[in-house]
Amino acid sequence: MTLVTEPDHCTHSGIAASDRFAAVRRLTTKLCDPLVTEDYVVQSMPDVSPTKWHLAHTSWFFETFILRPHLPGYQEFDAHFSYLFNSYYVTLGDRHCRQNRGQLSRPTVEQVYAYRRHVDKHMQQLLTASEQLPGAIAPLLDIGLHHEQQHQELMVTDVKHVFWVNPMRPAYKPAPPREGSAITPLAWTSHAEGIRLIGHDGNGFAFDNESPRHKQYVAAFDLSDRLVTNGEFKRFIDDGGYQRAELWLSAGIATAKADDWQAPMYWIKQDGEWLNHTLAGMRPVADDEPVCHVSLFEADAYARWAGCRLPTEFEWETAVAESGASAATGNFVETESFHPRPASPTATGPQQLLGDVWEWTNSAYLGYPGYRPPPGALGEYNGKFMCNQFVLRGGSVATSNTHIRSTYRNFFPPDARWQFSGFRLARDA
């Protein structure tokens, strides 16, 4: 894994490895506080994994990549788990079929928590064994923790879907009340043409697919200073946007018809009013909030309808670099809210770049020039998915603050909608 890491891995922003480990692992279980046992078991569609699978898989990751090779005498918790909780690492052998994860009543939730405790205990033993974390372990710890943070977000998106398919419409947790605001008028920031340096600069952790940092010629462009809102998206719907094939990619309109899309995922029209399913239950769609749970297909069609286009990932990264934006602190765990926030009418410069919704770009997910997947099983982490996916940038309200980076490349197929995904507009200068 060509991970770009800091010189001293034992401390990361001055925090001891064992404390970082504990903090990330604690947040994972904290996210499960609102759940009952049955909620951990269900797989509501093939893309979704049961919560208990996420809890076990993230533990399996540390067990497989750190404890087994690096902790002498380590005994695996259960011989079945290497088969059950390997997600997609072909190099590591056969694994349980992804779409059947909801068919497993055992191990129980309690056994999965015991597995976590077992892994935690041995990880702490390893992390605290010496003053200085061994060089081989430091980058594996980094990737393990960022891997866990990815699954924290997936747990939230997945349980949201589990609650959605249930006619009883359970809520994850109540949301604090919020006042509607006037929609901030859309403005544009202009960006000059030139060769840009794209990709991670080597300070701190990054996934392999953010490297190598490389030159990219970017023509002059404008970027909208905020995300497209629910209110704006309603006008697209009202204008027949979902029926007008000329606005869509060919595969997009085919999907929209086959799956009967009439609005973003989680929206339901009731008595003439749009409601949407949230982690706090059904709520009226708020016009001032960024539209969320749309696919690349819908984002692309909207942009064409609006006479604009989606930005490329290079334009997006350029704009963030020029704006000096950084991830907002006080994200979801602290605020206990997963509702993307409206843009601020008083802010200047681009807003909502980091930590609001994942922003679809019109860039296919491919390796950067010079990219080579690292050898071994971890080489399967990102590289083998570079096909038929689009890049999303920026992180969402369900992304940990310490997991958000301006060079971070998330990727999903163009029809994916169950993530916290929205978009902003771009245009040629």
Contacts with a second copy, residue ranges (CB under 8 A): 36-44, 80, 83-84, 88, 90-91, 96, 100, 102-109, 162-163, 165-168, 170, 195, 214-217, 219, 245-246, 248-253, 296-297, 312, 362-364, 366-367, 369-370, 379-380, 384-388, 413-414, 428
- Residue 77 CB, shortest distance to a second copy, in Å, is 13
**Number of C-beta neighbours around residue 169 at 10 A:** 11
- Residue 404 CB, shortest distance to a second copy, in Å, is 26
Q: Do 269 and 263 meet the contact criterion of CB atoms below 8 Å apart?
A: yes
Q: Which spans in 286-383 are helix H? A: 296-305, 313-323, 332-335
- Residue 105 CB, shortest distance to a second copy, in Å, is 4
What are the φ and ψ backbone dihedral angles of 197, each rounded to 5 degrees?
A: -95, 120
- Residue 37 CB, shortest distance to a second copy, in Å, is 5
CB closer to a second copy, 236 vs 365: 365
Strands (E), 235-338: 267-270, 273-278, 281-284
- Residue 115 CB, shortest distance to a second copy, in Å, is 13
What is each CA distance from 292 to 190, 227, 275, 422, 424, in whole angstroms? 25, 10, 13, 5, 11
- Residue 70 CB, shortest distance to a second copy, in Å, is 23
CB closer to a second copy, 130 vs 217: 217
CB closer to a second copy, 25 vs 196: 196
- Residue 202 CB, shortest distance to a second copy, in Å, is 18
Helix pair 17-30, 51-62: axis angle to 10 deg:
170
CB closer to a second copy, 131 vs 246: 246
What is each CA distance from 428 to 22, 300, 307, in whole angstroms? 47, 15, 11
CA dist., res. 88 & res. 366, Å (int):
19
Q: Do 197 and 407 meet the contact criterion of CB atoms below 8 Å apart?
A: no
Q: Do 49 and 154 meet the contact criterion of CB atoms below 8 Å apart?
A: yes
CB closer to a second copy, 11 vs 389: 389
CA dist., res. 316 & res. 322, Å (int):
10
CB closer to a second copy, 147 vs 403: 147
CB closer to a second copy, 361 vs 402: 361
